[in-house]
Amino acid sequence: GQTWTLMLMSLILFIGSTNLLGLLPHSFTPTTQLSMNLGMAIPLWAGAVITGFR
């Protein structure tokens, strides 16, 4: 419950704000890049595994 709330809320706010950048003309959303997705996914996955072991 409370362990995941801060992480999930910050993730939702970050993804939402970066996707809103795509509404600006002549710009792209950073989440379309594979490096951005992997840069977010690997630490989140590792954090979930470490938290799950506790």
Give every CB contact of residue 3 below 8 A, 6+ residues apart in sequence.
51
Please give the pLDDT value at position 43: 93
Sorted by where each begins, the domain ranges of the chain are 2-53
What CA–CA distance (Å, rounded) separates 35 from 7?
Answer: 20
Please give the pLDDT value at position 45: 94
pTM recorded for the entire structure: 0.75
What is the tens place of the pLDDT at every residue in 2-49?
Answer: 778 888 899 999 999 999 998 999 888 888 899 999 999 999 999 889
What CA–CA distance (Å, rounded) separates 21 from 52?
Answer: 34
Residue 1 has pLDDT above 70, yes or no: no
Please give the pLDDT value at position 12: 94
Q: How many of the other CB atoms lie within 10 Å of CB of 50? A: 9
Inter-residue contact 1 to 49 (CB < 8 Å): no
